[in-house]
A and B are shown apart, each in its own frame.
Chain A
Amino acid sequence: MMGNVTLLEFLSAGREVAGHHPWPRFQLDARTWRRMVEQMAVSNWDILAEWAEPTEIHVALRGEDSGAIAVASHPCPDHKFFALSRVRPSAIRLERAIRDLWGLAPEGLEDQRPWLDHGRWGVKRPLGSPRISEGRPHAYRFLTAEGEGLHQIPVGPVHAGIIEPGHFRFHAQGETVVRLEERLGYVHKGVEGLLAGKPVAEAARIVGRVSGDSTVAYALAFARAVEAALGVEVPARAHWLRALMAEMERLANHVFDIGAICNDAAFAIMLSHMGMLREKILRANAACFGHRLLMDRVVPGGVAVDLAEEGWEALAHLLGNFRKLFNKAVALYDNTPSLLDRTTGTGFLPAALAHRFGAGGFVGRASSRGVDARKAPGYPPYDELDFAIPVLAEGDVHARLMVRVEEVRASLRLIDQILKQMPRGPVAAPVPNRGGEGMAVVEGFRGEVLVWVRLSEAGKVVRCHPHDPSWFQWPLLEAAIEGNIVADFPLVNKSFNCSYSGHDL
């Protein structure tokens, strides 16, 4: 085992693949790949995403100290590879999904159960070498918990509220949760298969719909990946408008989450306040950019619409009002002991676990992990803006809520700065039809959204992999609820607010 070796030093043992931007991609042979996995056991390299092609496995890594990002690839013509999940539990579900979708067998992955494939697709390995299957659902064996007085509570996949489908299997002793196991994959839409062969403009629309609440983040990540692959220089004003939209999206989601968390503790008035605030943002979005959720406003090359002068004024007006109302609502939260009693100490996530799984967003930040793609690796215009990343150490529902509160305040300050400093000029550059590989990491409201793309010479998508931050947050929810009471699960779940759609893809 090597001592302190940086990620790039280590990967340079492989062959660098030309034309991968902005970070290098290295092709590793079986031995080096294996050594990389072993090295990961002792290094603090984060897995950013892991995906596959019919005979190749890719993993995007980040050296936590240096912040260097690189992709490691490993051809596996015999359809198996040395599993990362041997050393990183965060990769378990990713590799189970890889086995389901591409048919590559992760060697050393103990969990042999399928993940996304519930047996209902009528096809096996849809992205690898597809084979027709009977389309009958498999029986799924949940992990067990044994002991006296234990009982199971199955919840979902269809829930009473208007939320996405997912199954939660509780083992409880009375009211205390002994084990929670999630089963996801109910909203698998075959996005990656859909993307293959699509022209860039069409693919951008699809990626923008991977998870509707993060449409700006996904569209931005895809656009930046394409621009990196093709070397497109985006006009300065487009960068600023993108940041403006991204912050509006963050605001809308965070304020609604804050309200929804309180609502799950039966404090409905908070949801009313926050619902009104969210509505103000959505209406401003519609007035300024022509779409309430800003779908398809960020496109490869720039943005689809410019911000008119009257839109600028409307936004500036909105902000002044918004800040006052938001602070009043937060004061209401702070001054309601019955509510604080519910959120404080509930759903504790230890910092060590957040680090181990590389959890980003408010989940990571509430447990001491202050990673933010806007700071590192960073992308314009955030390098010119002044903002802080709130990090708390408590790791409970209250901390996750307060991180959101601080992020809302930071976003408001960011929007202020963006409106004041935004340069004039064009808002889009032409996107040439060329080939190339690109990757981008963008901070969505849940955390880091990663998109990797390979374009053909005709300018069409050969492969595109969008990665949702929820992959590394869902497993932590299982840990956070342990030892809590069953009735607190909705509260803890809402404080995580992981994406089903982005995860199931």
Chain B
Amino acid sequence: MSALAWQIAQILLVAVLAPLATGYVRFVKARLNGRRGAPPWQPYRDLLRLLKKEAIVAPSASWLFRAAPYVTFAAVWLAACVVPTFTTAIALAPSADLIALVALLGLARFWTALAGMDVGTAFGGIGSSREMLIASLAEPAMLMMTFSLSLVAGTTQPAQIAAFILGGDIGVEVSLGLALAALVMVAIAENGRIPIDNPATHLELTMVHEAMVLEYSGRHLAMMEAAAMLRLTLFMALISCLFFPWGMALPGDGPAAVAVGLAAFLAKVAALATALAVFETMIAKMRVFRYADFLGGALLLGLLATIFLYVSEAV
């Protein structure tokens, strides 16, 4: 029974926390840039404002364009619901594994890219084509990282991987370090952060994710924005769950342990968000044709992580 309760709590938590996490990253970046910055809760206001506004749809748009925001949002939200955040004892944990997660994110991306092309503007097409380029490189890297983790833990379920690492019968593992690096790089690409994409840019020609959603307005845009915020929170939760599960409550723990888990999760998100803001401030965006180098690096790290496992077993 409590698994269901915690599951519902998690569903609400990720949805409520996502705008705050994004707002916090923006806030820290503004402070690092010497600006006062909007308060971290500004994204709530933005989403509310967008929801109240009229949604304008281009005459050339098909039903795809209208449906895409909801499909995208639903897919990302679902993905965010199955990655354990503060406790591994959630109802959906057994049904979700990392490969399904990759598929859910792929579904969201597929719909967003279709919507980008649907209206027929040049920018949407550019954005979709770049997004697919990134996807074709990021997804194998993500899978590779998944494989090496599942080889270590013997499972592809995030909850069990977390439990395995918390179990403590694992030393310092080179493979895990490499897999973490691969996941961070994939997370940067998936979320369209610098150096792959600049979420704050106004330059249409340089956009990736923003170019695909350029034609959206009102509630459609709110859904797309919320999905992007959820995706960022999801990746922070995933990194925390797979590599830093400490503090997380396990099945059978009481409410006190769950409270500790919640506090630990919030602290982890804050730390990751701060790290992201600092990293983004220190680096410039890379050229489009360098994406392959960056994500190829992620793929290579994932691959190395797997090979190391076999080598360390063999010798």
Contacts and interface: CB of A to CB of B under 8 A. Distances in A.
B198 interface: yes
B168 to A, nearest CB: 39
A161 interface: yes
A488 B289 CA distance: 11
B286 A155 contact: no
Contacts of B43: none
Q: Please indicate which of the listed interface residues B35, B198, B206, B286 has the most CB atoms of chain A within 10 Å of its own CB.
A: B206
A266 B33 contact: no
B281 A269 contact: yes
A155 B202 CA distance: 13
A202 interface: no
A338 B284 contact: yes
Nearest to A175: B288
B129 to A, nearest CB: 8
Contacts of B289: 175, 485
A64 to B, nearest CB: 36
Contacts of B33: 268-269, 271-272
A342 interface: yes
B164 to A, nearest CB: 37
B198 A266 contact: yes
Interface centre among A151, A276, A342, by most chain B C-beta atoms within 10 angstroms, is A342
A266 B195 contact: yes
B96 to A, nearest CB: 34
Interface string B2-30: 00000000000000000000000000010
Interface residues of A, number: 32
A338 B281 CA distance: 12
B284 A487 contact: no
A487 B288 contact: yes
Contacts of A160: 202-204
A268 B122 contact: no
A428 B122 CA distance: 56
Interface string B118-154: 0000110110010000000000000000000000000
Contact of B34 (A155, A267, A272): A272
A278 to B, nearest CB: 13
A269 B35 CA distance: 10
Contacts of B125: 151
B311 interface: no
Nearest to B125: A151
Given A266-B194, A269-B33, A155 B205 contact: yes
A269 B289 CA distance: 24
Interface residues of B, number: 30
Contacts of B288: 175, 485, 487
A145 interface: no
A473 B29 CA distance: 35
A489 B205 CA distance: 7
A161 B122 contact: no
A336 B200 CA distance: 20
A153 B286 contact: no
B47 to A, nearest CB: 21
A490 B203 contact: yes
Interface in A150-190: 151-155, 159-161, 174-175
A330 to B, nearest CB: 15
B49 interface: no
Contact of A155 (B204, B285, B287): B204
A190 to B, nearest CB: 30
B287 A341 contact: yes
B201 A266 contact: yes
A265 B285 contact: yes
A339 interface: yes
Interface string B155-172: 000000000000000000
B283 interface: yes
Nearest to B214: A160
Nearest to B283: A338
B122 A339 contact: no
B67 interface: no
A269 B198 CA distance: 14
A336 B284 contact: yes
A161 to B, nearest CB: 4
Interface string A464-505: 000000000000000000000111111000000000000000
A264 interface: yes
A272 B35 contact: yes
B205 A490 contact: yes
A262 interface: yes
A342 B285 contact: yes
Nearest to A486: B205
Nearest to A489: B205
B34 A487 contact: no
A425 to B, nearest CB: 42
A486 B203 contact: no
Given A153-B205, A269-B281, A276-B34, 10 more contacts: A161-B203, A266-B198, A266-B201, A266-B284, A267-B284, A272-B35, A336-B283, A341-B287, A341-B290, A485-B287
Q: Which 8 A-B pairs have the closest CB atoms?
A: A266-B285, A266-B198, A339-B284, A267-B284, A160-B202, A272-B33, A153-B122, A490-B203
28 contacts: A151-B122, A153-B123, A159-B204, A160-B202, A160-B203, A160-B204, A161-B202, A175-B288, A175-B289, A262-B284, A266-B200, A266-B285, A267-B283, A268-B200, A269-B33, A269-B282, A272-B33, A272-B34, A273-B34, A276-B34, A336-B284, A339-B284, A342-B285, A485-B287, A485-B289, A487-B205, A487-B206, A490-B203
